[in-house]
Structure 1
């Protein structure tokens, strides 16, 4: 069973395979990756029994240190870069129709945004420089490098409070949330970095300012890529910047969709001293659907991640007291795209959960 669970974390590699296979099948075959993510994964989540088991306490330290789990995430970085470069070649030489271009671009976004940002999120929490470097490379691929600052130093501090751009409010649609989270998250990262530099007496206009680096590096990357491919094909490949920007927007929009459903309506109490209560497993929505948890490196056990951000993905716990989503992320993202359906499904669940936790707190 242990080895079978390890194999499950390789399931993310299915997406690059389907993406490339869909390209060579051509036509509607380009949508095979979309069908897998948004149809087959939710179906398998429904059919396969949920997994609420946790790693026994006496084995957590051992499992957390197993090199296998780190190798899986490290390996993804190279797979993603290889697929992205391959995609650059296809965009440079293939005459896509408008719908084929859309299918190809959004398929790439499912890789860079759906899995890539998930891996970057995992690696970005680690203290080792190599893991942080890999996280930054993955985020560069979707023009969202400021996430490295805002998520670790902003979101984890302010989650489930009005001060957090990445916490969706009760009654807030995904589209309104998207605009607020994207804008305010970027501005917050600048503020956090300015505060860090001020403490070290480093001027804001310095290359040591990570926000200057994070803003410029994706631009430098695609300029160099476009220049290299233009020389190789002996023409200006103007399609590459357009493709890179489009798949980036779609990619980080997937991240924001996940942010939207992870903390929808969650609120921490403000204490008499002006601070908020400690983050607990009660402040994130969870989903123990087996298939999508393998695909997303157990990101759906989000409560434990926020309560103990240092824990690696393989030892994240399930908590019965945490609010539970009715389906895995793949299905719930689709629901979030249709606000009336989202509110009809989630608002009663949120209200029932709030009433339950209130009753339990006064007992």
Structure 2
């Protein structure tokens, strides 16, 4: 570990902004979206990537260095604590409409970056307690089906028409969004029914179905939140979870837009290669999202921990970082104008 690796601590700026909004409210309620979708895109435009060395890991840290692991582990109590604080504020503190909207969006951003994104990294780990931590984070964002679908579905079918999380060429984000949300749930159900069938033929409606257990856990959590924080707290939690899900799907949309794997002579799809995912080497987004933006290397070898991911020179590069690309994707005419000419003609 080098002193420069301390830069990953800046990822905690996101929950810090949310905490500032909850504590001070007023205009501070909008600090998180202004930071993520205002300041960060401007910084990434002003400071483009440079001196990127191909196939060099992001850090010199060992694959399971405690510093890089604990940066993720600490996100779990931090995020859960923020969710409880957020529910208490939204349920019990008189707020203006603008304050409420700002806090809901802020918590949704935190749920996407600190919740789903960190859960994504932990869910790829093989140790049982790390997978449990991933489930806690996903449960706090009402997105537990991701635990089933992502590793067993998305990574298998990415960059093919079989993957609901792969956006198609000339498909707008607003058409992609319902297809992805519904498709991921259907995929999770199909994956579990197939697993049970192969494991001995247990019914898909049995208690062995992990998706049903996840749904039950989330329904219990919803009931507890409703009892403790009332309908205002429940609506606040669902609202933030919805914002987080939309932001997560924006990330899915920009990561794989228009990229397809070829079929081999046997009819199967070729192995996932670095050129089947869009990459961004913009430094700010890389750190804030724990190297998620080196997405090509992640799909090429999903077992690599975030701090060892490499720049893959064969991957297509985004013109800016993730926050800027997400803003662009929300306006389809601008997105098509910028990105359609960048999609490789032959894949």
Q: Distance in 2 between matches of 1:66 and 1:75?
A: 15
The equivalent of 2:283 in structure 1 is 290
Deviation beyond 6 Å, 4+ runs, structure 1: none
Q: How do 1:140-159 and structure 2 match up within 5 A?
A: 140-159=139-158
What residue number does 1:245 align with? 238
Which position in structure 2 is the counterpart of 1:348? Answer: 341
Match of 2:134 in 1: 135
Matches within 5 A, 1:226-305: 226-229=226-229, 237-305=230-298
Shift in CA distance, 95/70, structure 1 to aligned 2, threshold 3 Å: same
Q: Tell me, in whole angstroms, the C-alpha distance in 1 between the residues paired with 2:105 and 2:227.
A: 24
Cα deviation digits, residues 49-101 of structure 1 (max 9, x gap): 526246758x97x6212111111000011100111111111012112222221
Which residue is equivalent to 1:103? 102
The answer to whether the 8 A contact 2:44-2:282 is kept is yes
Matched, 1:333 2:326: yes
Q: Superposition pairs for residues 1-363 of structure 1, below 5 Å?
A: 2-4=2-4, 6-50=5-49, 52-53=52-53, 56=56, 63-201=62-200, 202-229=202-229, 237-350=230-343, 353-354=344-345
Q: What is the CA distance between 1:113 and its match in structure 2?
A: 1.3
RMSD of aligned Cα (Å): 1.7
TM-score by length of 2: 0.95
Q: Deviations over 1:200-249 (max 9, x none)?
A: 222222222111012222221121133234xxxxxxx2111111111111
> Quick check: 1:122–1:312 contact (8 Å CA) kept in 2?
yes
TM-score, structure 1 length as denominator?
0.91
Alignment gaps of 5+ in structure 1 = 230-236, 359-363
Partner of 1:361: none
Greater gyration radius: 1
CA–CA distance in structure 1, aligned partners of residues 25 and 205 of structure 2 = 48
Distance 1:335 1:208, change over 3 A: same
Q: State the alpha-carbon separation in 2 of the partners of residues 339 and 7 from structure 1.
A: 37
In structure 2, C-alpha distance between the alignment counterparts of 1:150 and 1:240, rounded to whole Å: 29
Task: Kindly tell me the number of residue pairs found equivalent between the two proteins.
Answer: 344
Residue 26 of structure 1 deviates from its aligned partner by: 2.8
Shift of 1:112: 0.9
Structure 1 CA distance for aligned equivalents of residues 19 and 87 of structure 2: 12
Give the conservation status (yes or no) of the 8 Å contact 1:54–1:316: no
